[in-house]
Amino acid sequence: MTPLVLPTKAKYWLIYSITVVIEVLVVSGVFLLFWNDIGPDERTHVTRLGPKIAIYATTVLVANLLLFSSMLRHIFKMYIDPVVKLAEETQLIAVSNAKYRIVPAGGPEVVALTGVINDLADKHISLHTDVQQIVQFSKHGVDEEKRRLEALMAQIPEGVVVCNVDGRILLYNHRAQEILHGLAESERPSTFLGLGRSIFGVVDRQPILHALNFLQGGLWRGEQRPAFNFTTSRGKAQFLRVRMAPVIASDESKQIEGYVLSMADITGRVRADSRRDIFLQSLTIGLQQELGRIRDATDVLVGSEAIARAGLHAHTATIAGSVATLLQQIDQVAVQHAFRLQDPGEPEYILGVDLMNVVRDTLVDKFGLQVELEVENDVWLNMNSYTVVRGVNYLVGQLTKHLEVHRVDLSLAKEGADGYLTVEWHGDPVRVRTIEQWKECPLMLGASGRGPVSLANMLTGRGDVLAGHDAEAASVRFRLDVEKPVVEWKLDGHKEHRPVYYEFDLFDAKYQRADLEDLPLDQLTYVVFDTETTGLDPSGGDEIISIGAIRIVGGKIRREEVFDQLVDPRRSVPLESLKIHEIYPEMLRGMPVISDVLPQFHEFAEGAVLVAHNAAFDMRFLELKQERAKVRFDQAVLDTLLLSAVAHPNQEPHNLDAVAERFGLPIVGRHTALGDAILTAEVLLKLIPLLEAKGIRTLGQAWEASRRTQFAGIRF
């Protein structure tokens, strides 16, 4: 509990009231003593003179009280009020704005004290400047290293993200931001990559936890630089190839305290490979057929006695030689592409559901089939995903070529030590002997009629194809290698534009505490926001036309992590409002409506304390619209207006401009949602040390102190 401090006006009236009571009690006591000390005859005279005595006594009492009130008011005006304001302004100089200077006011002693404080402030700035120069010189080498790190990270072609063991993002480069933000809005599974956020908001949690199993096991087995490669998908629109390496606390402990993810977007490659395979296969088969006919024709010409003239024979021999050379070249192309199928690179770990999504999408794109999926959870495969996709495509291609197939059901399940991918088609069954022939047929024919790679030998060492034992079958099962985790990963105490963005202090577990009420104000993550509206009556039909927000992580404003969105209010904007924010109707045409914007803002603010200046106004708009947007803003909320009244109860006013001016903050971009949000964020960071100086250090204490201010009852 923070101590209760009375305002100076309340102190004045309290002292005055106590004085009145004391004086009345004294006069009454004296009269009682006098009454008891006189005899009966004297009491009779006093009773007869009572009205006159009462008039004179009351007059003297009132005059005395008026004189005391005037003296008390003078003392408060010359000494008490100036000293209280002097204390607040001195604290402002010491904590938040060293350039602030106190205007002398009050009695001569207070004026002299003000001059001394201003002189001390000047010397403080001079000393601070000297210290800053020394610090800057000392930091020069560190800054050089930091710039080198930023330049290096900016040039790395892969996206790089560094996280602690809880998945909190500590560092990411611009390429990672491009990769993870590179989807269309309609396809984006998660929108925001930011420091202090969870990586599980933008990348699936399961592959990362599985990789931690593998990496921790490798460290315990003595591997020096273990790494884990896996492929994962984001929704149905993006495929990522990820390499994950651990960050260990020390060589002795071998305990993972974080990890580095380097990633590449292979969506285009997956789709391009599929299109290229289709093109190469159709092109090669077509050329093989046509050139085969030419070869047969030349054989007939050369072998015919009726036209076997010397000249004709020479020409046809030349044609035959050229065709043979061309066929040989096509054979070489087929062989090279087939070897790529057989050895496409090192095997990778891929989650079964991600692989099946890729297979489904390629079948739908290539054959236009209806594809249904059934996938067992937590099945990991250790093989090249391209091999499986190519094999299933080949099998389904043979089915559509020989049968009328419109629907295929795919399932993936784990049985014992193996995984089984089942392809079941709706239509006529196929003879098992035919399926065995398909299995042995080359995936890409050479000109000689034999190709070096079949479905069977493409899967050699990494799986097999099972067609069943009956004479006919309507399904085929692929037997695939299942990766088995080595060790169970457990977290101790685990709870559920620059080119590089980083905050390594987030390695500290104190930033992961869930009990926000007891968490220090300087350790919280904040989303400071503001709204621009059509008017001041949220309950009377006024609407939001702009939302701006910025994040504070680790006591620093993250200017690269902002939310700034205009909103179509679906109503007119009054002229009075236009004069303030200058957001004109033509600027709002084509903008999303509030029911589309609020879910995005809710995601941006997830896990943070919401902050606004006069937050009751902005929060009322959000509360009225959240049901339509199907979200709920139940985050903790702080109001810088109330906090300013807590820090400076004797300073007026507490509007955003006045507070910013007291802190010496430049007022730029006012009456734009993002501009006001940035200014409010700067005000908040200035207020926090002032609150700490008053003993208000936690979020719960800030709430309690805010509730006691005169502005706490404001409602909209």
Whole-angstrom distance between the N-terminal and C-terminal Cα of the chain? 29
The first and second tokens of residue 342, run together, are 């057989």
DSSP assignments along 387-435, one per residue: HHHHHHHHHHHHHHHHS---EEEEEEEEETTEEEEEEEESS--EEHHHH
Residues tagged active-site:
671
Contacts of residues 455-458 at CB distance under 8 Å and 24 or more positions apart, as own/partner, are: 455/391, 455/394, 455/395, 457/342, 458/341, 458/342, 458/387, 458/390, 458/391
- Read off the amino acid at residue 396: V
- Count of CB atoms within 10 A of residue 344's CB? 16
- Give the CB-side neighbour count of residue 9, counting CA atoms within 13 A: 3
DSSP assignments along 270-311, one per residue: HHHHHHHHHHHHHHHHHHHHHHHHHHHHHHHHHH-STT--HH
Pairing mode, strands 430-431 and 407-415: unpaired
Angstrom distances, CA of residue 653 to CA of 525, 599, 656, 682, 690: 28, 35, 9, 18, 17
Q: 637: left (phi > 0), else alpha (psi -120 to 50), else beta?
A: beta
Which residues, at least 6 apart from 63, have a Cβ–Cβ distance to it below 8 Å? none
| Spatial contact of 244 and 260, defined as CB atoms under 8 Å apart | yes
How far is it, in rounded angstroms, from Cα 642 to Cα 654? 8
DSSP assignments along 25-86, one per residue: HHHHHHHHHHHHHS-HHHHHHHHHTHHHHHHHHHHHHHHHHHHHHHHHHHHIIIIIHHHHHH
- Count of CB atoms within 10 A of residue 582's CB? 11
DSSP assignments along 582-617, one per residue: ---HHHHTTPPPHHHHHHHHHHHTTTSEEEETTHHH
